Chains A and B, each alone.
Chain A
Amino acid sequence: MKDSLGSVQSLLVLGGGSDIALATARKLAQDRTKRIILAGRPSERLDAGADLLRGLGAEVRVVNFDALEFGEHEKVLAPLFEEGDIDVVLLAFGVLGDQKTDERDPLAAAKVVQSNYVGAVTSSLVVAEALKKQGHGALVVLSSVAAERGRKDNFIYGSSKAGLDTFAQGLGDSLQGTGVHVMVVRPGFVDSKMTAGLPKAPMSTTPEAVAEGIVDGLRREADLVWVPAQLRYVFSGLRHLPRPAFRKVVDKQA
């Protein structure tokens, strides 16, 4: 259960090997989150992450979960809630894809969309139902600033996040009055495994900073969190730029 100061006791991560998710789990485990489930595709990273959290005194379980296996989501995720309440679910899985090659390989593009959007929809719906039954809890969805406007250098990824972002906003509204809180997180460029080798974008940030934003947003029960926080103001401007002007901004960045 969440306490009066916003500390939580249990966490389920979907996409347990994510740098952002592990940074968040670490932060929570240093506080009072002592029951953690990392769900993801088996990997050394995932196991190492689990060990690290155990070192912080958490009881950690690793569960096989593949976002692309839509058919399995109900079967894999629903039973996790039978073992005890889950205070926070962090939906962190996602793939960036490679815009240039994916444009020429529609099936590869489909995989990005299926991971980031379709798999997120199916797993979120299972999680939302379980949280509703619990009468409390939060679902944190990692969207992206890329969801804000389409741009030529990431519109496959961006559109998948835009779909997810809109889905999560509506889901949050539909859960009003159920005790369940949905929080959308829109990080800018994060220095993580996902972006390794890419040129850094302006105002780039770290997994730790995103984790900070998530933990703080959970305490405040925010609907939407930007990391870094200033991006909110940047995008409130960019959102209304006419397309030609926006294209110029993007070109200048590249």
Chain B
Amino acid sequence: MGTDRAGTRVPGTDLEVAAVPQPRREKLTGWGRTAPSVAEVVRPSTREQVAEAVAGAGARGIVARGLGRSYGDPAQNAGGRVLDLTGMNRILGVDLETGTVEVEPGVSLQQLMQAMLPFGYFVPVTPGTRYVTVGGAIGCDIHGKSHHADGSFAQHVLELDLLLADGSVRTLTPESDPGLFWATAGGMGLTGVIVRAKLKMMRVETSRILVETKRVADLDEAMERMTLTDADYRFSVASLDNLATGPSLGRGWVESGNFAGLEHLPAKLRETPLAFHPKPLAAMPDLFPSGLLNRRTIRLMNEANFRRAPKDAHPHLASIGGFFHPLDAIHDWNRVYGAAGFLQYQFVVPFEAAATLRRVVERVAVQGAPSFVTVLKRFGPASPGYLSFPTDGWTLTYDFPTGTPGLAGLLRWMDAQVLEAGGRLYLAKDSRMSPGDLAAMYPRLEDFRKVRAEVDPHGVFVSDQSRRLSL
């Protein structure tokens, strides 16, 4: 993606006027590489250019896009405009006393880590990849392995500037305008364009995590370990072998961790406790046949991973990249699924619905639908976001190649299970849920729509996802 950004010199001065970005027609998909559509992509570098692009959006509207790490179609807009905000990536201000930063929306979490770790600050919440923008993190109100302890991303946003459909900019805090603030947090880009945000960072003494990894023999043991130990760890997550059945159903390993203190580091590391040098990305060639990741290869991989996990938990030090973002070590790893692409399915059900969780794990295993990563976690209480996903309960994430036989039927059965248990699906991962289910899963959808109708009565902000789900 990208447009010509060379500026023009104003004659007789040193002033450079940012070139008006030329829109380009591009085919866009999300990270799962499914359901492409074509839009006019504009890459602004100032908020004036954002306003211009919004004003010039035609009948098919406009939507913001960060690094396109959502799996489905929320950051694409067929026949309309897409604002690629990765060109607005300046860190505007830092207050080391209070640990706050002010950023443009295209600043990535990777960039924030690089800039702030030397001062002892980490991002307040990190997902499984550093390559997301602050705009996208707020737009999906993302969560990490620390949700039970720290809540979701938007709960660490102190203030944001939202550019509305009429081109005006409103400064929002959760106190000054809770309605629009919490419609925007988790609002999938549908209330406007976030053009600036102020965040509270997390204080850390080192850039290492003290992790305990423990093998668990089945789902019960995984759930039990997390339930008993979550209070002691800021970060906690279980990985499951999703194809194991019978007595091994739900076997896997639980990783629990906290940021290490200085005292946990060996002498050598203590000299540079805040070092952060993620390995340069190895590129993934776009040559994989669809179907490479199938039941057989995933089964082998699961078995190897399970065997590798220690039977007894011993604390060890892990790097930020190794612990939070293992997949980031390979650029464009989504290509390994081949041209047919893949999808993620993430749901949450209340703690009381453990039986539903077990039923789902069992059915997926018995049907033998291979999942590249299968992750179980306990969420803490919900944020006030109207469409925010996390809420008290168990959340389980699968990632399935779209070519998996019988997948559509399996997922619809899962939808029904989740709905019946009072749970919901995550919009950042969604690429195929039904409009009716969405409304039933998000009881505050109507309130969201009301706020949206007030600030965007003509529906300027639209995405493929909002069309698909009649959001």
Residues of A at the B interface (CB closer than 8 Å) are: 1-5, 7, 9, 32, 85, 132-136, 177-179
Collect the chain A residues with CB atoms within 8 Å of residue B73's CB: 1, 4
Collect the chain B residues with CB atoms within 8 Å of residue A179's CB: 27, 36-38, 78-79
Contact status B37-A135, CB under 8 Å: yes
In the complex, what distance in Å separates the CA atom of A7 from the CA atom of B411? 13
Collect the chain A residues with CB atoms within 8 Å of residue B449's CB: none
Collect the chain B residues with CB atoms within 8 Å of residue A4's CB: 32, 34-35, 72-73, 341, 343, 402, 431-432
Beyond the given A4-B72, A179-B38, could you list 11 further A-B residue pairs with CB under 8 A, ordered by the A residue number? A1-B73, A1-B465, A3-B34, A3-B432, A5-B408, A5-B432, A7-B408, A7-B432, A133-B60, A136-B37, A178-B25
In the complex, what distance in Å separates the CA atom of A32 from the CA atom of B77? 21
Given A1-B73, A1-B468, A135-B78, answer yes or no on A177-B38 (Cβ-Cβ < 8 Å): yes
In the complex, what distance in Å separates the CA atom of A32 from the CA atom of B73? 17
Return 16 A-B CB contacts under 8 Å, by A number.
A1-B35, A1-B73, A1-B467, A4-B341, A4-B343, A7-B408, A133-B60, A134-B60, A134-B78, A135-B38, A135-B60, A136-B38, A136-B78, A177-B27, A178-B25, A178-B38
Collect the chain A residues with CB atoms within 8 Å of residue B465's CB: 1
Chain B 6-36 interface mask (CB, 8 Å, partner A; 1/0): 0000000000000000000101000010111
Given A1-B467, A179-B37, A179-B38, answer yes or no on A32-B78 (Cβ-Cβ < 8 Å): no
Residue B434 interfacial (CB < 8 Å): yes
Collect the chain B residues with CB atoms within 8 Å of residue A7's CB: 408, 432
Shortest CB–CB separation between residue A41 and chain B, in angstroms? Answer: 31
Shortest CB–CB separation between residue A6 and chain B, in angstroms? Answer: 8
In the complex, what distance in Å separates the CA atom of A178 from the CA atom of B36? 10
In the complex, what distance in Å separates the CA atom of A185 from the CA atom of B27? 25
Residue of A nearest to B340 (CB): A220
Within 8 A of A (CB), among B79-111: 79-80
CB contact between B35 and one of A3, A134, A177 (< 8 Å): that residue: A3
Collect the chain A residues with CB atoms within 8 Å of residue B341's CB: 4
Number of A-B contacts (CB under 8 A): 67
CB contact between A134 and one of B27, B79, B408, B411 (< 8 Å): that residue: B79
> Lowest 9 CB-CB distances: which A-B pairs, in order?
A135-B79, A179-B38, A135-B78, A4-B431, A4-B34, A1-B468, A136-B78, A3-B432, A136-B37
Chain B 416-439 interface mask (CB, 8 Å, partner A; 1/0): 000000000000000110100000
Most chain A CB neighbours (cut-off 10 Å) among B27, B36, B38: B38
Residue of B nearest to A178 (CB): B38
In the complex, what distance in Å separates the CA atom of A32 from the CA atom of B470? 14
In the complex, what distance in Å separates the CA atom of A9 from the CA atom of B436? 13
Shortest CB–CB separation between residue A31 and chain B, in angstroms? Answer: 8
Collect the chain B residues with CB atoms within 8 Å of residue A177's CB: 25, 27, 38
Chain B 326-366 interface mask (CB, 8 Å, partner A; 1/0): 00000000000000010100000000000000000000000
Contact status B407-A5, CB under 8 Å: yes
Collect the chain A residues with CB atoms within 8 Å of residue B411's CB: 5
In the complex, what distance in Å separates the CA atom of A2 from the CA atom of B36? 9
Shortest CB–CB separation between residue A222 and chain B, in angstroms? Answer: 13
In the complex, what distance in Å separates the CA atom of A154 from the CA atom of B329? 62
Collect the chain A residues with CB atoms within 8 Å of residue B408's CB: 5, 7
Residue B54 interfacial (CB < 8 Å): no
Shortest CB–CB separation between residue A139 and chain B, in angstroms? Answer: 15
Residue B216 interfacial (CB < 8 Å): no
In the complex, what distance in Å separates the CA atom of A179 from the CA atom of B72? 16
Shortest CB–CB separation between residue B292 and chain A, in angstroms? Answer: 18
In the complex, what distance in Å separates the CA atom of A177 from the CA atom of B39? 10
Residue of A nearest to B468 (CB): A1
Chain B 437-471 interface mask (CB, 8 Å, partner A; 1/0): 00000000000000000000000000011011000
In the complex, what distance in Å separates the CA atom of A42 from the CA atom of B39? 37
Chain B 35-76 interface mask (CB, 8 Å, partner A; 1/0): 111110000000000000000000010000000000011000
Contact status A85-B38, CB under 8 Å: no
Contact status B79-A2, CB under 8 Å: no
Shortest CB–CB separation between residue B315 and chain A, in angstroms? Answer: 40
Contact status B80-A135, CB under 8 Å: yes
Collect the chain B residues with CB atoms within 8 Å of residue A132's CB: 79
Chain B 291-323 interface mask (CB, 8 Å, partner A; 1/0): 000000000000000000000000000000000
In the complex, what distance in Å separates the CA atom of A177 from the CA atom of B34? 16
In the complex, what distance in Å separates the CA atom of A7 from the CA atom of B433? 11
Given A179-B27, A179-B37, answer yes or no on A1-B464 (Cβ-Cβ < 8 Å): yes
Shortest CB–CB separation between residue B39 and chain A, in angstroms? Answer: 6
In the complex, what distance in Å separates the CA atom of A52 from the CA atom of B209? 61
In the complex, what distance in Å separates the CA atom of A133 from the CA atom of B37? 11
Shortest CB–CB separation between residue B95 and chain A, in angstroms? Answer: 42
Contact status A85-B434, CB under 8 Å: no
Residue of B nearest to A82 (CB): B59
In the complex, what distance in Å separates the CA atom of A83 from the CA atom of B432? 22
In the complex, what distance in Å separates the CA atom of A134 from the CA atom of B76? 12
Contact status A135-B431, CB under 8 Å: no
Contact status B79-A136, CB under 8 Å: yes
Shortest CB–CB separation between residue B252 and chain A, in angstroms? Answer: 26
Collect the chain B residues with CB atoms within 8 Å of residue A136's CB: 37-38, 78-79, 464
Given A177-B27, A179-B27, answer yes or no on A3-B468 (Cβ-Cβ < 8 Å): yes
Residue of B nearest to A32 (CB): B434
In the complex, what distance in Å separates the CA atom of A25 from the CA atom of B165? 38
